Amino acid sequence: MTTSGTPSLSPVQHGGNLHNAIARYGIPRADWLDISTGISPFPWPVPIVPSDVWQRLPEQDGALEQAARQYYGTDALAVPGSQWAIQQLPALFSRRRGATRVWLPQECYEEYRYWWQFHGHVLQHYAALPTQEQLQERDIVIVLNPNNPSAHYHAVTELQALAQRLQPLDGFLILDEAFMDATPTQSLLPHINADTNVILLRSLGKFFGLAGIRTGFVCGNRKVQEELRRVLGPWAISHPAQWIAIQALQDESWQHAMRQLLPAQSQRLANLLARHFPADCISATPLFVTVSLTPESLTHWQDQLARHGIWTRCFMQWGKLRFGLADDAGLARLEQALERCAADE
């Protein structure tokens, strides 16, 4: 028996909630440097959208999925943000199997915990990937690679071994690669096919900086893709979103430039933070840098930076402060604020 709509669950809080910071610190919106998300501040440059594109219903001509197949190197089901798949997969497994045991990283994008609990599944938190001895029939293991917010990467070989351990158990690996685009050699995509027991999620929100068009993709197991397609409906991704997504996925020279720029900008941010925090507390991906701190330092730094109009994301429950990337002017502003905060300590 599964139960949905567990009443004790409260909605998850996220970065990007600048309205809270505006209300709390009384600083006008235009004066903030918002680095509270992992969305790239160097988005794919969306051209002016022609008026006929605004007028059209979503096309069912397969053009978006063709562009996605080219980019990801495999079949990909287009969905309205990978968040949609995060919400739908627990419902899909409820229909297929009833309540299922689900392994979830101790620290990760909290929507996973919320939706698997919402659908009455049994959560098992892990610090290290579950071993052969720990896994049971029909287990599902969720892995975020890299993890948000810990910035931890798993090696491809580790994930291949995990999928293999799950295969004879009729288990699944759900792999969230929302932050993987800048480091494609670390993706599991080239190593999976349609019969795999891996369900792999990708997003146009982070590397492409296009979170607003709500477009993501589900790759991997074909039957899961087909089942999700049946609950997707015809109008899930707007025509303007499709129009933008196709061009962004095809723009290889922009993608190439971003694979140089984002790691460099992330390194600058990490170097800057290393002047104020111990190096072994800092972990980075090309799209964000996370600092592990004590609860007191966490509140202190988030508050002090906010007083200088810089909004970061604080994960109090895990002792982490996450910094999204900034352009050079933003980094200079952050540097100045960090120095002033350190002087005031």
Q: Please count the CA atoms within 13 angstroms of the CA of 258 that sit on its side-chain side.
A: 26
Calculate ∠ Cα 222-227-232, nearest 5°: 120
16, 324 contact by CB (below 8 A): no
Nearer to ligand PLP, 109 or 116 (CB): 109
3-class DSSP string for 39-79: CCCCCCCCCCCCHHHHHCCCCCCCHHHHHHHHHHCCCEEEE
Separation of alpha carbons 156 and 183, rounded Å? 12
Nearer to ligand PLP, 166 or 211 (CB): 211
Number of residues that bind ligand PLP (CB under 6 A): 12
Nearer to ligand PLP, 27 or 108 (CB): 108
Nearer to ligand PLP, 90 or 337 (CB): 90
From 51-59, 80-88, 181-189, 252-260, give the range in contact with ligand PLP by CB under 6 A.
80-88
Q: Which of residues 178-207 bind ligand PLP (CB under 6 A)?
A: 178, 203, 205
Separation of alpha carbons 182 and 209, rounded Å? 12
Nearer to ligand PLP, 144 or 162 (CB): 144
From 77-85, 158-166, 254-262, 287-295, give the range in contact with ligand PLP by CB under 6 A.
77-85
Residue 81 contacts ligand PLP per CB under 6 A: yes
215, 80 contact by CB (below 8 A): yes
**Smallest distance, ligand PLP to C-beta of residue 344, A:** 32
What letter would DSSP give residue 205? S
**Smallest distance, ligand PLP to C-beta of residue 111, A:** 7
Nearer to ligand PLP, 139 or 176 (CB): 176
Pattern 140-179, ligand PLP, x by CB under 6 A: ----x---x---------------------------x-x-
> Would the CA dihedral through 330, 332, 333, 337 be positive or negative?
positive
Helices (H), the chain: 18-25, 51-55, 63-72, 82-97, 111-118, 156-166, 222-232, 239-250, 252-274, 295-307, 328-344
- Footprint of ligand PLP (CB under 6 A): 81-83, 109, 144, 148, 176, 178, 203, 205, 211, 216
